[in-house]
A and B are shown apart, each in its own frame.
Chain A
Amino acid sequence: MARRTVEVELSTSGLDAQGRPQRVPLVTNDGGTAVAVEPPPSVEPDLEGEHMLINLGPQHPATHGVLRLVLELDGETVVRCIPHIGYLHCGFEKIGEYRQYNQIICWTDREDYLNSIGNNVAFALGAERLFGIEITERCKVLRVIACELSRIMSHLVWLGTFCIDIGAFTPFLWAFQRREEIYRLIEKWVGARLTTSATRVGGMAADIPNGWMDGLRQFIRTFPHTLDEIDRVLTKNAIWVGRTVGLGVMTPEEAINWGLSGPMLRASGVDYDVRKDFPYLDYETYDFEVPVGTNGDVYDRYLVRFEELRQSVRILQQAADRLPDGPVNIDDPRVILPPKSKATSEMESMIHHFKNVMEGPRPPIGESYFAVESPKGEKGYYMVSDGTSKPVRWRIRPPSFVNLAAIPKMVEGHLLSDVIAINASIDIVMGEIDR
């Protein structure tokens, strides 16, 4: 691999008690402004010793859950990596065949639990395609807000855990402080912090409460400060750059062929974003950029995700400005329940409520694959209906499952400690991978 130069800030504003600059670069060039990172030198042939077998996981803090990697090491260099998954296989797709469409939404929360509200939206959009329903304008904007909030939440967890894996603890605390603010917003809206179940087929579980937008605007105003703070600490940090540049490179052709999606694919220089290329929820009318990397390494994935956080704030701002008045749920008795006051006072409404809850809405025979841009990549829900109230097949296209499948390719030839950084850069969620 070729040599790559990344700009690094060497001097900090602060000096320590002894009057020395607080940050020390790893390697500097002549001008003293950059750190050059080279791939680890290959092991000398005469030093080749016995290969070693290292087992990483399934219970390991740096595997983000219960991933297990079996690594063949030559000295400290990874020769081969064999991933084992399935330690969190909970039979989501099987149980989906035994549940009505509105009931499945509760399972989508728990599958990619960092992006639960985004999964609710994705599933509801897929089910609405299957029912042939067009949702209201207000609902669309509310769902965009929900999706982008959950993208920020997911990227913040990724940022925090990535920092911990590399050895920086403080950004984790900053990220989780801001997450708590989003938690509070979402809790005001749907009543739960993490497992939201916020959508229904044809609308949302609830409209936003009074004054909620003020909280959102406050968040939009203050959140970029946190991003700037983390940016200052990490982006030009010599240690950070030294630990991430040049690792796990995927070329664009490889990335497409291995089926990577989301920030993983964009860091490799392919600008495929479902929001732009196969848009949904009127994403084409929002003004936002899709950040694209040019090196396909861990550092570029960091940059791409970090820029996505800023773009999400932009989308949130536009959505907050354009939120129209009007109903949230469509006016369609096939899928929408009558108001509770009517269901407890009128016989017809009660029967309607009972039939919709106990028997469930029935879509026409058909199938739909609906893909959205989740924080991890292209998330698809494939549903097949045979005309009954329960799907014949509910398939999740998990982006991090396909992204993780490329880890043997990415870690080969790198050091054991770099496996942790590469694994963290994939942004895996085992609940989604194993389902």
Chain B
Amino acid sequence: MSRFEVVRTGASAPDSQPATQRTVSHRTEPANPSAKALQEKFSSAVKRVEVIWGETVVYVDPAAVKQMMGWLHDDPSQRYDFLSDLTAVEYRDAEVPIEVVWHLRSLPYRRFLRIKAQIQKGQPLEIDSVYDIYRSADWLERECYDMFGIRFRGHPDLRRLLMWESYKEGFPLRKDFPLRGRFSRSEQLRQALAQNPEARYSMEELTIADAFAELPTDMRDRLSKGERTGE
């Protein structure tokens, strides 16, 4: 019988019965104690701490993100074991840097923390992946790459997720991307219909088929150069 022990959320939390927050103030709510612990542990890498609508935001140095997340995940006084969300924000003001945002939850302590890393404009859009710490970051990072073009260093399989792999128009959620796309409607439709639905196998999938070894040499060459199987 493989029965699991039931894991109780909030097992280490001081309050046994959390309550609905009422009349949350804009900037004056108390900060999450983890923010102070982070400042003590990584003094220089924590840029600043804000509390907005009761949620603590920690702005951190992009270079230290992975180290800090690993500490938050493993340290017995923090135990942020649940990565709720990972996304990015680009502001309308072109001067404001792009932010990568992680929403972390500590299930044992019932805490919520928002980590932000700012990537200055002009810098390459790259940041460390937290795939090794949280497996849930897998698709979230791929989606973030697909929509914003942020490359996550160390992600094992950083491909486009929502748009197709040969999508040519760019990264849709960037502010310089028009709502209706860069190309005209007829061009978008022409490009979409030019896709062969049966050719949507990635190289990885084609290596599964044993028949790959029996393909003609020229076709294997073309496939290995990244071309998709055609009709």
Contact = CB atoms under 8 A, between A and B. Distances in A.
A89 B101 CA distance: 22
A331 interface: no
Interface in B54-104: 55, 57, 81-85, 87, 89-93, 101, 103
B89 A393 contact: yes
A268 interface: yes
A51 interface: yes
Contact of B6 (A1, A249, A269, A366): A269
B179 interface: yes
A343 to B, nearest CB: 30
Interface in A399-435: 401-402, 405-406, 434-435
Interface in B105-123: 107, 110, 112, 114
Interface in B1-41: 1-10, 17-26
A142 interface: no
A138 to B, nearest CB: 16
Interface size class of B (residues with CB under 8 A): 35 or more
Contacts of B153: none
A4 interface: yes
Contact of B20 (A53, A252, A282): A282
A317 to B, nearest CB: 20
Contacts of B55: 367-369
B187 interface: no
Interface residues of A, number: 75
Interface centre among A3, A284, A364, A392 (most CB of B within 10 A): A392
B183 interface: no
A80 B204 CA distance: 11
Contacts of A397: 84-85, 103
B18 A94 contact: no
A403 to B, nearest CB: 10
Contacts, number: 176
Contact of B208 (A72, A259, A378): A72
Interface in A90-104: 91, 93-95, 98
A23 to B, nearest CB: 25
A380 B102 CA distance: 13
Interface string A278-310: 111111100000001011100000000000000
A47 interface: no
A272 interface: yes
Given A98-B179, A268-B4, A434-B162, A257 B84 contact: no
B163 A270 contact: no
A249 B22 CA distance: 39
Given A50-B210, A259-B82, A129 B53 contact: yes
A234 B112 CA distance: 39
A257 B23 CA distance: 33
A393 B139 contact: no
Interface string B200-212: 1110110011100
B18 A284 contact: yes
Contacts of A366: 26, 52-53
B103 A382 contact: yes
A72 B204 CA distance: 11
A229 interface: no
A116 B107 CA distance: 27
A193 interface: no
B4 A295 contact: yes
A50 B83 CA distance: 39
Contacts of A224: none
B138 A405 contact: yes
A311 interface: no
A22 B83 CA distance: 49
B200 A292 contact: no
B177 to A, nearest CB: 8
Contacts of B173: 93-94
Contact of B209 (A53, A257, A292): A53
8 contacts: A94-B173, A129-B53, A258-B136, A280-B20, A284-B20, A380-B103, A382-B85, A402-B136
Interface of B: 1-10, 17-26, 52-53, 55, 57, 81-85, 87, 89-93, 101, 103, 107, 110, 112, 114, 134-136, 138-140, 143, 147, 160-164, 172-173, 177, 179, 200-202, 204-205, 208-210
